[in-house]
Amino acid sequence: MVGPGAIVSIPADPVPIKPMVVSGITLEYTSLEQAMQAAGIESQAELERILAPNKAWPHPAHQDGWKLSHDAIRRDMDALLSGLERTRALVESGRALEAWQVAHLQLVVKDMYHNVHAHHDHEEEIFFPWMESRVVVPPKMSSDHKTLMALLDRTRDLAAAMRPGSAQGCKSLVSDLLSTFSTLRAHMRQHLEEEEIVGLPLMRKHFTAAELEVCEKKIVADLKPSDMAFFLRPMDMPTKRATMTRFGIPRLVQTLVLLPAVRRDARTVMHAYAELAAGEQLQRSKGARKGFLCFAA
């Protein structure tokens, strides 16, 4: 573990472009020309045909599990940025850093560390080798992971070093954490969109949804209920149900195993994000369902 006072090389933030949306994929850092060249696609029309539903792919690319897992990472990163910005504003106004804020920051950063690490492991150990059986996966998709994990390590270590205390005593550490995380978020957003606008077309051009299903089942089999709850975070309840059904999860398993994990996730991690963004402890809703928690680890 790198200590919070250690010197870590922080890469410059990626340079944003004018945002545009292509078939449900938002481009903030990668130009359409760069993406098409990397994927070996000659025109935007061809790209959009590949990303649209067709005989080989019954769903559009933005509903693919790879994209949905990225959406969950982006959701959490946006939530943590809001929480950190609010925390810094409170500390800079002279308010002490309280124990609940420290506990929440450490909880959500630990959760994010696990989820991003697991996502990268699934790509490196299962998904990319499967794609490499037919196409060359751009090396940057894998090499980016080292930079991202170094920044995530630094974020984790800064959060772990936090303690409740006076505004003056906590101001520097809170600012360092926000600065490091902001850089991580920018690099992560660039990386995720590159995988989506280059990797998804490569996959859909050379494989079918039925072939992907074999690979996805290996990944889903490695997920705990809490991991699936993370994956489902950005979705409303009907979409959560529909997504689980599309991935072949029996409705009984959804009801008895996964939805209790989703509810537990809402009471813990999601609640922590909400309180950090609000800058105060919020009243929990009464009557929250607590059944089947033995399945929700």
CA distance 295 to 196: 33
38 part of a folded domain: yes
How far, in whole angstroms, is CA 45 from its chain's centroid? 29
Residue whose C-alpha is closest to residue 266's, from 224, 294, 235: 235
Cα Dmax for the chain: 61
Q: Which pLDDT band holds residue 167 (cuts at 50, 70, 90)?
A: very high
282 part of a folded domain: no
Instruction: Say how many domains are in the chain.
Output: 1
137 part of a folded domain: yes
35 part of a folded domain: yes
Q: What is the pLDDT of residue 1?
A: 52
Residue carrying structure tokens 């992907």: 212
pLDDT in tens, 16-30: 999 999 999 999 999
Q: Find the domain containing 155 and state its range.
A: 20-218
3 part of a folded domain: no
The CATH number assigned to the domain holding 154 equals 1.20.120
Residue whose C-alpha is closest to residue 133's, from 187, 214, 74, 67: 214
Structure tokens at 270: 């999601």
233 part of a folded domain: no
Q: Which of 1-15, 68-82, 233-247 has the least mean pLDDT?
A: 1-15
Query: Please, what is the average pLDDT of the chain?
Result: 92
Residue carrying structure tokens 């936090």: 162
244 part of a folded domain: no
Going from the C-alpha of 55 to that of each of 49, 60, 132, 204, the distances in angstroms are: 11, 11, 23, 11
**Long-range Cβ contacts of 4-13 (<8 Å, 24+ apart):** 4/157, 4/158, 4/161, 4/173, 4/176, 8/150, 8/154, 10/151, 10/154, 10/180, 10/183, 11/147, 11/151, 11/183, 11/187, 13/182, 13/183, 13/186, 13/187
pLDDT in tens, 34-85: 999 999 999 999 999 999 999 999 999 999 999 999 999 999 999 999 999 9
Q: Which pLDDT band holds residue 291 (cuts at 50, 70, 90)?
A: very low
Instruction: Flag whether pLDDT at 295 surpasses 50.
Output: no
How much is the average pLDDT of 130-151? 95
